[in-house]
Structure 1
């Protein structure tokens, strides 16, 4: 017999909450919400899952656990919490990680918990039919809001007159799990860089060894850095009323990350157009093995002095932007001459 357990952590400004789904096969199923108040990312996930595992372990430790959340969540927790989580997991017959298929429903549970003003430290339960009803109500509202909030793509023929290029260094390629360690941005006008922005960011977790080795960022630099909320406010101030945001893999990652953090810290939404150098390179039908930034920089002879550092990646993206528009314009002119 099995128990499926899905867990998702949410952050709004400096306050955290955890939503969970538990299905004890053949017995019962339901959702839970835990309001954790002010905390830090390395504590909140562990607190939520430990609370649930202790309840389950008392009556159902003769079953196997199916954990519907990414194992990377456990790497975020502090060592003491992680040890306790694995101690509890080992009380069951077995445990394994499975595909997370409950993200959207747990977002609904989180919404319900905050709407119901569940007290801090309280584990509150919801029945599946309650969550289903709320999900349908929110879907109608979200569809309308999404239509109004999705930025348009820049579709000008030439290089935009002005814009801001952004880049984030994080702990994960997946936006929902990403915590920002460094932010870079450059502002350009008429094909020339006019201003730069760089800041380390303290997300409240330790920087993983793999990221330290990849970027060269030190833990001491993160410890001394301002909190992520302050860094994002400063970044938005730098962006200002710039009409176009530029980035490499912008739609799928950097802009989604920016939008996630704007919502998380209740910052005013940015309005403008998006220009992704990865998408532009694909439209240009360049003959390359892939469309990674480093691959395209190599193709155009662009030197990225400190790859995987936010500001240096921004500068490389700017050079790539210039090269792509020059390539596209010259290519169009050559085709017209042949005709």
Structure 2
């Protein structure tokens, strides 16, 4: 499967770790087909507990908004259908994968795609970037945005634009016609020092 046909997702959550009881409060995702966004998914979800003022302030998602949202299980069941058969990407994928796995396990559902991390890939490709936060990389690559990060669908859309820019850079640097998903996974695990050699051997 090519790396330009997949789903890019982002969670907003009550905290940093489902192992500590944190829950998802919003999921946003875009579906890419041959590098074009063909579908979107965005829903708030009620975690069954109040979120902190910090999270309200950070995300703009209030307890009042969540009180009107469907329960996590209902939203995640719909999202499981949305992602079936697709590979997945997130910026700092280990975070989002933990919440995806945790929320789906609560409703005895699963998914069949593999994950790649746009954060790890950016660290290999853009070693001169000031840092590898999503907003920084969007500016670094000159991608237009309105700066409204920390809502799930917007972050997914911006990650998609960054992802496609990275794929384009791989095509140019490696002199190849397209980028298989497996190549991206290998590239993200390659040491920074070996990136030039890795790309030179792709052609």
Short-chain TM bin: 0.7 to 0.9
Indicate whether 1:295 and 2:120 are aligned.
no
Mapped partners of 1:319, 1:285: distance in 2: 15
| Residues 37-52 of structure 1 aligned to structure 2 (within 5 Å) | none
TM-score, normalised relative to structure 2: 0.80
Mapped partners of 1:261, 1:213: distance in 2: 24
Q: Is the 8 A contact 2:27 2:153 kept in 1?
A: yes
4+ aligned runs moved over 6 Å, structure 1: none
Deviation at 1:161, TM superposition (A): 4.1
Mapped partners of 1:222, 1:272: distance in 2: 29
Mapped partners of 2:145, 2:106: distance in 1: 32
Mapped partners of 2:75, 2:19: distance in 1: 19
Q: 3-state SS of the aligned residue for 2:167?
A: helix
TM-score, normalised relative to structure 1: 0.49
| Residues 150-229 of structure 1 aligned to structure 2 (within 5 Å) | 160-177=3-20, 178-229=22-73
Indicate whether 1:274 and 2:115 are aligned.
yes
Q: Is the 8 A contact 1:175 1:253 kept in 2?
A: no
In structure 2, do the counterparts of structure 1 residues 172 and 304 end up closer, same or farther at CA, with 3 Å as the change threshold? farther
Q: Hey, which of these two has a bigger chunk of strand by percent?
A: 1
Unaligned runs of 5+ residues in structure 1 are 1-155
Deviation at 1:165, TM superposition (A): 0.9
Unaligned runs of 5+ residues in structure 2 are 176-195
Q: Greater CA radius of gyration, 1 or 2?
A: 1
Among 281, 286, 289, the residue aligned to 2:127: 286
Between the two structures, name the one with larger relative contact order (CA 8 Å, sep ≥ 6): 2
Deviation at 1:175, TM superposition (A): 3.4
Mapped partners of 1:226, 1:275: distance in 2: 29
